[in-house]
Structure 1
Amino acid sequence: MRILQNPLYLLLQIAAVVIALVVHELSHAVIALACGDTTAKDAGRITLNPAAHLDPFGSVVLPLLSMFIGGGILAFAKPVPYNPGNLKHRKRDEVLVALAGPASNLLQAGIAAVLLGICVAFAYAFGWYNTVAGSALIYFMTNYLVVNISLMLFNLIPLPPLDGSAIIFPLLNKKGQAVYYDIQSKALPIFLLAVYILPSVLHIDLIGMYIQGVGGVVIDWLFQLTFAIQDMMYVLLMGGL
């Protein structure tokens, strides 16, 4: 595996995960504040400081394991605290706060696709594609794109502490919320079963198949954008040389 052969690639992939997670959590905090709740702000979560957001297991151990095992990157950070009672329109705003994180990952992936196209065009035009700096930059942008789509899809799984559970909960009726609370009490064993036991014992990786299947389609679309930007920029650069 490439990241095992060169520590630089491991550091670049870790950096991609950390940046994606920090922006993800910051987005939750910003939207909660915009919707009228200052809890996250008061807790110091409106910051780009990774120490305020990262979770030792979800942000370090889990993504490293998923890197070495293969498949999509699995990771989560410390949940952003907020008080639903402070939201201006509680039912709507709870969904908006929960969606903010995954939406930020999709936006980050889109930006990465555009920047990757620009980087590759410059690399070919000026001959630094095979330099250490050039290949590292392209590797980082590619992984930043893929990592963000993986994180978006993983966090949309409707299982606590992931965002998917917070998205669907306000939309449920009282009976549905009661079922949700019952599932929530069993969330950790269900999570461990899906992430570790099924893939390692039964060789059934449901989460990996979901992320690679759906993520593959989204990533293909984004790479098409990358190629379009790359071709356009290359023509402009070569025309100006």
Structure 2
Amino acid sequence: MATVTLRRSDRRISPVFLGIVAVAAVAGWATWSGFAEQPGFAVFLFVTAAWIVSLCLHEYAHARTALHSGDISIGAKGYLTLNPLKYTHALLSIVLPVLFVMMGGIGLPGGAVFIERGRIQGRWRHSLISAAGPLTNVLFALVCTAPFWLDALDGVPVTFRYALAFLALLQVTAAILNFLPVPGLDGYGVIEPWLSHRIRRQVEPFAPFGLLAVFAVLWIPEVNVVFFDAVHALLRGLGIDELQSYCGQSLYRFWTDTSAVCSVSP
């Protein structure tokens, strides 16, 4: 890996990111303690803020890996500050993912950091840069599910348990979608360096539409069922049953009446 020197301002954590973390922490405390009169609103704030934190870490992983692979321009672009406002496509990376969570409970992958690939030598490095983001979602999912697969739920309030289950579902869906070998997604970025120049040239025009194509296919009921069956199978392996993630999503969507089916009493 290349050795690089960064200015302190290039790697100083942004107050914007720290503010999002603070919102997640306060909302998480309100969800845990039952302080909020409306537990659904606390869950909404907690999951949304934590989801944005994971998006920032996803993009940071791409940027940090690119930096140490040879793209020394990353620091000057502000990507290492974890500030989502510095991303190339803030709409794709923050706004749309949050809207999709609110509408359908799907972890929308978004690409936002511009990496100067010409500065990077070696196919393995290019693949690792693309894989770093979704691997962050995998790690985040393991953290969220740790109380479940470690059987450490004693004393964890049921509302907070449901919120973690839903947040884990978002991370799992994001990881699966990101790892799909579809042009425009990280999964294709992993395999692209190993493809012939001719194939890459043929595929390149379709990259801007890859994400749209994936979500168009997910609207097909049969595909949607298969996809979420796979997601829930993974979650069951991590100790989370479908009812817990459903109740977490129902509490998150506090503006609907579906939360009434899930008990939040101890």
TM-score calculated relative to the size of structure 1: 0.70
Q: 1:86 aligns with which of 119, 124, 131?
A: 119
Cα contact 2:178–2:185 (8 A) shared by 1: yes
Cα distance, 1:197–1:165 mapped onto 2, change above 3 Å: closer
Cα RMSD for the two superposed structures:
2.9
Shift of 1:96: 0.4
Cα contact 2:71–2:116 (8 A) shared by 1: yes
Cα distance, 1:210–1:175 mapped onto 2, change above 3 Å: farther
Shift of 1:213: 3.5
Once the two structures are superposed, the pairs formed by residues 26-65 of structure 1 within 5 Å of their partners are 26-53=60-87, 55-65=90-100
Tell me the distance in 2 between the aligned counterparts of 1:77 and 1:181: 15
Secondary structure of the residue aligned to 1:73 is: coil
1:109 aligns with 2:115: no
Once the two structures are superposed, the pairs formed by residues 66-215 of structure 1 within 5 Å of their partners are 66-68=101-103, 70=104, 72-78=106-112, 80-87=113-120, 89-115=121-147, 120-123=153-156, 129=157, 135=159, 137-184=160-207, 187-188=208-209, 191-196=211-216, 199=219, 203-204=220-221, 206=223, 208-209=224-225, 211-215=227-231
- Alignment length, in residue pairs? 201
The corresponding residue for 1:232 is none
Cα contact 1:105–1:152 (8 A) shared by 2: yes
TM-score calculated relative to the size of structure 2: 0.64
More helix by share: 1
| Residue-by-residue CA offset, 1:122-157 (whole Å, 9 max, x unaligned) | 33xxxxx26xxxx2x333322332211111112122
Cα contact 1:158–1:165 (8 A) shared by 2: yes
Shift of 1:24: 0.6
Structure 2 unaligned runs (5+)?
Answer: 1-37, 241-266
Cα distance, 1:49–1:71 mapped onto 2, change above 3 Å: closer
Tell me the distance in 2 between the aligned counterparts of 1:40 and 1:118: 41
Write the letter of the residue equivalent to 2:230. Answer: V
Cα contact 1:71–1:212 (8 A) shared by 2: no
The corresponding residue for 1:230 is none
Shift of 1:63: 3.7
Cα contact 2:181–2:191 (8 A) shared by 1: yes
Write the letter of the residue equivalent to 1:152. Answer: A
Write the letter of the residue equivalent to 1:99. Answer: A
**Deviates most, 152-161 or 57-66:** 57-66
Cα distance, 1:216–1:94 mapped onto 2, change above 3 Å: same
Structure 1 unaligned runs (5+)?
Answer: 124-128, 225-241
Shift of 1:55: 2.0
Tell me the distance in 2 between the aligned counterparts of 1:62 and 1:96: 23
Shift of 1:43: 0.7
Cα contact 2:127–2:190 (8 A) shared by 1: yes
Tell me the distance in 2 between the aligned counterparts of 1:140 and 1:99: 27
Secondary structure of the residue aligned to 2:231 is: helix
